[in-house]
Amino acid sequence: MDLWRIIVRVLFGYVFALAVIRIAGKRTVSRTDVSSCVVLIVIGDMFDDLLWGDVPAAQFVVGIGALVLAHVTARLAVFRSGDRKWRQEAGGAGP
């Protein structure tokens, strides 16, 4: 396998993964909770498949995109449910 092809794949995968993770929020990587850890492990495994040409780059893009979308949606849902609880508690404790 040509080495330059590996370099092109790595650069493509790196730029795409970096872009998506930055858009999803820096907390995705800086916060060391269980869900972020799982996301990073899965992204690492997908990267390996792209690097050796086992999967088309389109599948890599759709796979990582879907994973990050699911992560962001789940985080949003958790945030909103926490917000609701806080409001309920604040409302209940009020005069």
Of residues 6 through 45, those in contact with other proteins by CB under 8 A are: 8-9, 12, 16, 19-20, 23-25
d(CA 43, CA 63): 9
Residue labelled with tokens 């759709």: 62
Judged by CB under 8 A, the residue of 10, 44, 48, 53 near other proteins is: 53
CB atoms within 10 A of CB 17: 19
Could you say whether residue 79 binds other proteins (CB under 8 A)? no
Could you say whether residue 81 binds other proteins (CB under 8 A)? no
Length of the chain equals: 95
Q: How far is the CB of 10 from other proteins (least distance, A)?
A: 11
Token digits for 13? 């995968």
Burial class of residue 42 (count of CB atoms within 10 Å of its CB; 0-12, 13-18, 19+): middle
Could you say whether residue 55 binds other proteins (CB under 8 A)? yes
Could you say whether residue 83 binds other proteins (CB under 8 A)? no
Q: What residues make contact with other proteins under the rule CB under 8 A?
A: 1-2, 5, 8-9, 12, 16, 19-20, 23-25, 52-58, 61-62, 65, 68-69, 72-73
